[in-house]
Amino acid sequence: MATWVSICKDNQVKEGEMKGFNVGGKSVAVARVKGEFLVFNNVCTHAECELSGGTLDGKVVTCWCHGSEFDIQTGRVLTPPAKKPLQTYQVKVEDGQVLGEF
């Protein structure tokens, strides 16, 4: 059964940014786009590079290793070489904490 887990404080991720966090041994990234927080697996499904080292353009993250692009809201691959979708997570903010459902 999935549970809500605190990832970071809401003020740790500024508008238009993404940052990587370790949550219980899992590498996840938190992005803030137009006031909305999005949480996704921080590991590219192609070559296992950390996506938080790449670029964020709206809700699209580009992996710095080989240029794979993902929609961070749906996890859908937008540009290869990645073929497998990115894992995304439900997110909510409570009392200044960003929580993900894992």
Reading the block at residue 77, the tokens are: 């691959």
What residue segments make up the domains of the chain, in order of their start? 4-101
Question: What fold does the segment set 4-101 form as a domain?
Answer: Rieske Iron-sulfur Protein (2.102.10)
Beta bridge partners of 29: 20, 40
- The whole model's pTM is what? 0.96
**What is the Cα 14 distance to its own chain's centre?**
14
Of residues 44, 48, 49, 41, the one with CA closest to residue 21: 41
**Residue 49 DSSP label:** -
The model's pLDDT over 12-70, given as tens digits with 9 standing for 90+, comes to 999 999 999 999 999 999 999 999 999 999 999 999 999 999 999 999 999 999 999 99
For residues 91 and 102, give the distance between their C-alpha atoms in angstroms, rounded to a whole number.
10
Sign of the CA dihedral running 31, 36, 37, 42: negative
